[in-house]
Amino acid sequence: RWEGFRALPTQEDLAREFMLSLPREQREQAIVEGELTDVASGGEAQINPGDVAGIKAESLSPDDRALLVELIGSYTKWFRPEVAEKLGLTREQLADDPELVFHWMGGLGEGDVLHTYRISGKSFDIQYANHQNAANHVHTLFRTIGHDFGE
């Protein structure tokens, strides 16, 4: 019944397309070594995006930056426009973040079982993990720094 179904294919495919579009040197900067785990800050009460290694968006070509912005937009499209605007969470507002960083862990090939990525800025943190059950079980989150529930 569910054969061939993929969870969040746009988010997975855009991230992979972005990574494969990078020149080798920049791709190597974006890849972070380590043990693949679930979303890095899923259970933490607060997050520190300053700890994110990877490639800084400011070093990207215009075409590669456009792909990264499109990936960010694949998450922000779910927000009500008036709320996103008020909170500074539109695709354009997030893309202008001077601290914007992207990192990837795991394989880059189509169907590679283990891979995760993270997009972090001064005010937000996006995480995606597809590392279980033959890459058919995805966890993702979008957190706003300083606006977590209960703060």
Per-residue pLDDT of 111-137, as tens digits, reads 666 788 999 998 888 999 886 655 567
Q: In the prediction, which pLDDT does 109 show?
A: 77
Q: In the prediction, which pLDDT does 150 show?
A: 59
Q: CB burial class (10 A; 0-12, 13-18, 19+) of residue 86?
A: exposed
Q: CB burial class (10 A; 0-12, 13-18, 19+) of residue 43?
A: exposed
Give domain status of residue 104, yes or no.
yes
Tokens for 8, please give them. Answer: 């969040």
Per-residue pLDDT of 57-114, as tens digits, reads 999 999 999 999 999 999 999 999 998 898 888 888 988 888 899 999 888 877 666 7
Phi, psi of 131, rounded to the nearest 5 degrees: -135, 15
Give domain status of residue 124, yes or no.
yes
Q: Are 47 and 41 in contact (CB under 8 A)?
A: yes
Give domain status of residue 26, yes or no.
yes
Give domain status of residue 141, yes or no.
yes
Is the CA virtual torsion 95, 98, 104, 108 positive or negative?
positive
Q: What is the extent of the structural domain holding 107?
A: 8-32+98-151
Q: In the prediction, which pLDDT does 72 show?
A: 95
Enter the pTM of the model: 0.86
Give domain status of residue 60, yes or no.
no
Give domain status of residue 45, yes or no.
no
pLDDT band of residue 39 (cuts 50, 70, 90) is: low
Per-residue pLDDT of 7-35, as tens digits, reads 788 999 999 999 999 999 999 999 998 77
Give domain status of residue 67, yes or no.
no
Give domain status of residue 13, yes or no.
yes
Task: Report the number of distinct structural domains present in the chain.
Answer: 1
Is the CA virtual torsion 131, 146, 31, 21 positive or negative?
positive
What does the CA dihedral 25, 27, 30, 33 come to, rounded to 10 degrees?
-90
